[in-house]
């Protein structure tokens, strides 16, 4: 069984969000980069759990990014994973990422992606990759079980969950519930230094969209405080002023 | 040529998010001088002609046994056939459970650029530029779609439904329908009475509640308001509440009209999932809690005192 886990690099969840170059670029100065939480906590950890259950499993990691993505993919290797591929281009949008990954993702039994990147919030790479590879796709999985070559996957739907049975190969986007939380151990970090990290040149895909300009959301007017002894006043404000109830 | 809107159903009923998408698509059609058409897959319990109220002229209804359960591959092939036959220039989905699986696939198949999670009508004065939230609602991006065909998925609760007069022409559409590789073997409803991602009002509580045994008053408030329940991550991690109620950066993102946060500190990762709510109310005993900075209304007080009073005050308003 061969698993491919797609790893992206995102700003730390507490990073200050600001823009430069006339608001056309994210201001990267001083920003700490992390593995996108959905990729690490759910996609990668589930792959590691599957390998623990069946040690013959092989886990490959892939990232589309420049040399600045190396610390991230190395950290992912330290968590688990047997080898990694870095596709050497700075991606500008989801389609480009999907097309680049599709070019190297031909013979995997299972492809795991995160639900979305926490910077551009596309949630699109998984579905695009599945279409490019002509594979089934389950979005926003909350549980993933495997018996032989059949996966049983739960996914979030409006107001509930759906259980789906699906033969491998399949592309699954992972969110909370798919894996148990775990903390990386030092041994893995040492071992990761010797694990292969292959750099491949991009297939040169044309992006179909372009991020033109960013802006910060309008600031809130400020909080209106109401005394705990006058809750009726809050309800009146919510009803008459905010028209929320 | 058309603007084609995918109409999403649950148990044969059209989801609220699809009514938003229909309104949105009809507005785009008006803006670019095309006709708005909708597509419905599988059996339905709804009167499809009534979708004309949102401004769509035609509803393509594709019926086949294989479409009565969701499979993104099968649905995509059918949607592409409808898109090609109607000469769709813009295709609209909701950015919900179905749209998240379909929009990327359909976009790839039609070589169309995709903006996932649009929050406003496109600006067509210079190209075709769609606004969306990025950095989990901490910023807004304007994204140009450069391809001939455009695919947009609209964020849930981002666009107000409008309803006028009008009847749509309902036409059966004959499509080639593949056999799905996936098989839906079951569905389960989650704890709350109202679906979290579709809710107008969300009542959410955090570690300030001390333990799962104290959720009764939160549930009562939610019931009174007809709201869905949510919680912060530590609450779900400690199994006080089910994981599907966890909102935030790593949980579910919600954007209701009203979000009431009780005993939640307002950590940046929590705010990332709720900051698109129209009105935010914070109840916290610590006046310094960061959540107050993101709130519209607040009460500095003890949840155990304030929440029952709030329930009573809402009941009074509703005349119960
Ligand atoms: C990468 C990453 C991702 C994360 N993702 C998420 C996420 O998706 N969602 C999320 O929620 N968190 C997330 N977190 C965790 C987040 O940082 C906070 O730790 C968490 O949101 C805190 O939860 P809380 O507000 O319920 O608890 P606390 O921070 O403990 O706050 C409890 C609050 O209750 C108040 N309080 C106490 N008693 C009372 C009372 N009697 N009446 C009224 N108020 C009272 C206190 O003043 C305090 O403000 C993430 C963290 C990381 C590092
Ligand atoms: N540059 C990238 N390299 C590898 N995988 C990526 C990259 N960008 C996104 N992904 C994967 O696709 C998922 C969804 O990304 P997105 O569609 O950009 O929100 C992420 O959670 C990753 O698993």
Domains of chain B (ranges; CATH) run 2-172 (3.40.50.620), 196-317 (3.40.50.1220)
pTM here? Answer: 0.92
CB contacts under 8 A, A 138-197 vs B, are 138-140, 142, 152, 155-167, 170, 173, 175-177, 181
Interface touch B296/A242, C-beta < 8 Å: yes
At residue B92, the pLDDT reads 98
What are the tens digits of pLDDT across the range B40-71? 999 999 999 999 999 999 999 999 999 999 99
Alpha carbon of B230 to ligand 1 centroid (Å): 13
CA–CA min distance B305, chain A (Å): 8
The yes-or-no verdict on residue B320 having pLDDT over 90 is no
CA nearest neighbour of B8 among B39, B31, B33, B35: B39
At residue A184, the pLDDT reads 66
CA nearest neighbour of A154 among B186, B99, B104: B186
Which of B7, B108, B120, B259 would you mutate first to test chain A, the one with the most A CBs within 10 A? Answer: B108
* Choice among A49-63, A186-200, B130-144, B197-211 with the minimum mean pLDDT: A186-200
Interface touch A226/B136, C-beta < 8 Å: no
Query: Does any CB of chain B come closer than 8 Å to the CB of residue A67?
Result: no
Confidence of residue B280 (pLDDT cuts 50, 70, 90): very high
Interface touch A119/B300, C-beta < 8 Å: no
CA nearest neighbour of A227 among B313, B266, B214: B313
At residue A145, the pLDDT reads 98
What are the tens digits of pLDDT across the range A179-230? 987 776 666 777 777 899 999 999 988 899 999 999 999 888 899 999 999 9
Which of B11, B17, B101 would you mutate first to test chain A, the one with the most A CBs within 10 A? Answer: B101
Q: H helices within chain A, ranges in order?
A: 37, 45-53, 70-79, 94-104, 125-133, 186-192, 231-236
User: Of ligand 1's atoms, which has the minimum distance to the CA of residue B207?
Assistant: 26
Residue bearing the CA closest to ligand 1, atom 50: B269
At residue B198, the pLDDT reads 83
Kindly indicate whether the ipTM for this predicted assembly is greater than 0.90, answering yes or no: yes
At residue A158, the pLDDT reads 86
What SS3 state is found at A43? Answer: helix
CA–CA min distance A102, chain B (Å): 12
Percent of chain A past pLDDT 90, that is, above it, reads 86
If you search the block for the tokens 């929050």, which residue do you land on?
A: B119
CA nearest neighbour of A176 among A161, A198, A165, A192: A161
Chain A residues close to B111, C-beta within 8 Å: 208
Beta-carbon pairs below 8 A across chains A and B: 283
Q: Quick one: closest CA in A to B291, which residue? A: A223
Chain B residues close to A208, C-beta within 8 Å: 107, 111-114, 145-147
Alpha carbon of B277 to ligand 1 centroid (Å): 18
> Across residues B247-271, what is the average pLDDT?
95
Q: Quick one: closest CA in B to A226, which residue? A: B299
In chain A, what are the domains? 2-215 (3.40.50.620)
Alpha carbon of B220 to ligand 1 centroid (Å): 22
Question: Ligand 1: does its nearest atom lie under 6 Å from the Cβ of B290?
Answer: no
Residue bearing the CA closest to ligand 1, atom 51: B269
User: Of ligand 1's atoms, which has the minimum distance to the CA of residue B303?
Assistant: 42
Residue bearing the CA closest to ligand 1, atom 41: B302
Percent of chain B past pLDDT 90, that is, above it, reads 90
Rounded CA separation B47/B309 (Å) = 43
* Choice among A14-28, A85-99, A133-147, B180-194 with the minimum mean pLDDT: B180-194
- Look over chain B and give the mean of its residue pLDDT values, rounded to a whole number: 95
């Amino acid at each position: 069984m061969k698993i491919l886990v797609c790893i992206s690099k995102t700003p730390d969840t507490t990073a200050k969000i600001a823009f430069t170059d006339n608001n056309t670029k994210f201001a990267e100065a001083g920003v700490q980069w992390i593995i996108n939480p959905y990729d690490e906590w759910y996609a990668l950890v589930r792959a590691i759990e599957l390998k623990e259950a069946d040690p013959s499993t092989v886990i490959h990691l892939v990232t589309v990014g420049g040399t600045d993505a190396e610390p991230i993919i190395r950290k992912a290797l330290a968590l688990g994973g047997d080898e990694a591929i870095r596709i050497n281009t700075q991606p500008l949008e989801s389609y480009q990422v999907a097309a680049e990954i599709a070019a190297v993702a031909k013979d995997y039994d299972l492809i795991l992606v995160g639900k979305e990147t926490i910077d551009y919030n596309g949630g699109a790479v998984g579905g695009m990759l599945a279409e490019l590879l002509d594979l089934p796709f389950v979005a926003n999985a909350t549980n993933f079980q495997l018996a032989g070559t059949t996966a049983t996957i739960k996914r979030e739907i409006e107001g509930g969950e759906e259980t789906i049975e699906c033969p491998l190969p399949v592309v699954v986007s992972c969110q909370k519930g798919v894996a148990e939380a775990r903390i990386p151990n030092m041994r893995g970090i040492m071992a990761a230094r010797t694990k292969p990290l292959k750099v491949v040149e991009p297939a040169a895909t044309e992006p179909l969209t372009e991020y033109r300009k960013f802006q910060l959301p309008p600031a809130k007017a400020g909080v209106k405080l109401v005394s705990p002894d006058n809750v009726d006043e809050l309800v009146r404000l919510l009803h008459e002023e905010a028209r929320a109830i | 040529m058309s603007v084609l809107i995918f109409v999403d159903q649950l148990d044969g009923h059209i989801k609220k998010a699809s009514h938003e998408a229909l309104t949105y698509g009809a507005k785009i059609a008006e803006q670019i001088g095309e006709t708005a058409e909708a597509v419905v897959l599988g059996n339905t319990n709804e009167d499809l002609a009534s979708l004309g109220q949102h401004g769509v002229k035609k509803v393509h209804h594709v019926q086949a046994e294989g479409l009565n359960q969701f499979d993104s591959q099968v649905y995509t092939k059918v949607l592409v056939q409808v898109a090609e036959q109607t000469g769709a220039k813009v295709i609209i989905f909701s950015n919900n459970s179905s749209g998240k699986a379909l929009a990327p696939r359909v976009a790839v198949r039609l070589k169309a650029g995709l903006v996932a999670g649009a929050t406003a009508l496109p600006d067509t004065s210079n190209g075709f530029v769609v606004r969306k939230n990025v950095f989990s609602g901490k910023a807004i991006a304007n994204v140009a779609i450069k391809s001939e065909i455009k695919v947009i998925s609209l964020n849930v609760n981002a666009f107000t439904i409008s309803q006028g007069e009008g009847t749509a022409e309902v036409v059966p559409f004959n499509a080639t329908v593949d056999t799905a590789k996936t098989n839906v073997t079951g569905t389960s409803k989650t704890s709350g009475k109202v679906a979290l991602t579709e809710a107008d009002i969300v009542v959410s509580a955090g570690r300030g509640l001390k333990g799962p045994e104290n959720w009764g008053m939160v549930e009562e408030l939610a019931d009174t308001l007809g709201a869905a329940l949510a919680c912060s991550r530590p609450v779900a991690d400690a199994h006080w509440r089910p994981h599907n109620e966890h909102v935030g950066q790593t949980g579910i993102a919600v954007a209701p009209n009203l979000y009431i946060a009780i005993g939640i500190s307002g950590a940046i990762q929590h705010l990332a999932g709720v900051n698109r709510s129209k009105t935010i109310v914070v109840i916290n005993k610590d006046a310094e809690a960061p959540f107050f900075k993101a709130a519209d209304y607040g009460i500095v007080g003890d949840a155990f005192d304030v929440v029952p009073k709030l329930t009573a005050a809402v009941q009074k308003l509703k005349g119960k």
